[in-house]
A and B are shown apart, each in its own frame.
Chain A
Amino acid sequence: MRRGILEMCILAIIRQEGASYPSDIIRALKAQDLIVVEGTLYPLLSRLKQGGMLDYTWKESRSGPPRKYYSLTEAGKQFLESLIGQWQQLSQAVEKTIGNQQPAK
């Protein structure tokens, strides 16, 4: 169910937050119950980075070594747009289909 959607959410979080530290992305995903274990995030970040959707910069940190902050590339922004477009199309279609059918409780 969440395949691909997770990528979309990660990109969307990074777009909203600007340069994002992985722990903050995790917090946002966990707040919405989108991931259960944190280890899920890192391979996805790596893949998105290798696909040219994300890039990162190192920033100094007051409490420890420099931190890695991820941000969207131009390609990443376009990719996210297209994913969101597809998602909205789909969710509208699903919404219309199931919206009229109130489940009996």
Chain B
Amino acid sequence: MKQITHINLGGHPVTIDVDAFELLSRYLDSLEAHFADSPGKDEIMSDIETRLAELFKEHIHPRTIVSLPDVKAAIDIMGTPDMFGAETFFDRDEAPKSDLHTHAGPRPGRKLFRDPDNKVIAGVCSGLAAYFGLQDPIWIRLLFVVTTLIGMASIPVYILLWIIMPVPKTAADKLAMRGEPVNVQKIADTIISQIESLSEKIDQTFSNKKEDNFHP
């Protein structure tokens, strides 16, 4: 005799016994932790839950209660986080194409970011220059140097800005930093330029690895 419980898995009602429920909970927790930084986490989780419910349905038929082997089989099909990490395009610390929806719209105005592509120390001055629409960050840098020389507390201010100004992570962020209009086409262009290194990457893989795992 085993206790059973009813759960809502991605909108599907599922009857599951306690052991299976325990394993499923742990599995979902591990996925949740894996996707914690992804902006689309909730959506990914709900899609995966829906799919798991479908897999259960296929697997238990004609039974009605999900038990341990059913959950194990579904996990085998869905895979564990370390398995799908290897197949995705961006590494976890590379810029994901995220947050685009929050920047959607014709001209959201400039946003204050540090500019890591154009930095002397931390990109604070060039970020400020971009924010104020200056072509050259040299004036902001000079301002910091001069105010420091006349005894003002510019260095702590710089450090404070260093801490509070974020680094642009996405294509949309970089456009927002320069105050360029953020629209889908612009973002697509920016992403395409990021993908342009794709050919090189594949090229390298071809020349570096004697045997590739691509099925002809």
Q: Which residues of A approach B to under 8 Å, CB–CB?
A: 1-7, 22-23, 26, 32-33, 35-40, 42-53, 64-68, 73-75, 78-79, 82-83, 86, 89-90, 94
Contact = CB atoms under 8 A, between A and B. Distances in A.
B38 A43 contact: yes
Contact of B40 (A26, A39, A46, A65): A46
Contact of A50 (B48, B97, B198): B97
Contact of B192 (A2, A36, A37, A82): A82
Q: Which DSSP category, helix, strand, loop or mixed, fits chain B's interface?
A: helix
Interface residues of B, number: 53
29 contacts: A1-B214, A2-B214, A3-B88, A4-B195, A5-B202, A6-B88, A39-B83, A40-B87, A42-B51, A44-B88, A46-B40, A46-B43, A46-B47, A47-B40, A49-B40, A50-B100, A51-B100, A51-B187, A51-B191, A65-B11, A68-B47, A75-B187, A83-B195, A83-B198, A86-B195, A86-B199, A90-B199, A90-B202, A90-B203
A34 to B, nearest CB: 9
Interface of B: 10-12, 31, 35, 38-40, 43-44, 47-48, 50-51, 53-54, 77-81, 83-84, 87-90, 96-101, 184-185, 187-188, 191-192, 195-196, 198-199, 201-203, 205-206, 209, 212-215
Q: Which DSSP category, helix, strand, loop or mixed, fits chain A's interface?
A: helix
A68 B199 CA distance: 32
B101 A73 contact: no
Contact of B79 (A2, A40, A68): A40
Contacts of B87: 2-3, 6, 35-37, 40
A36 B83 contact: yes
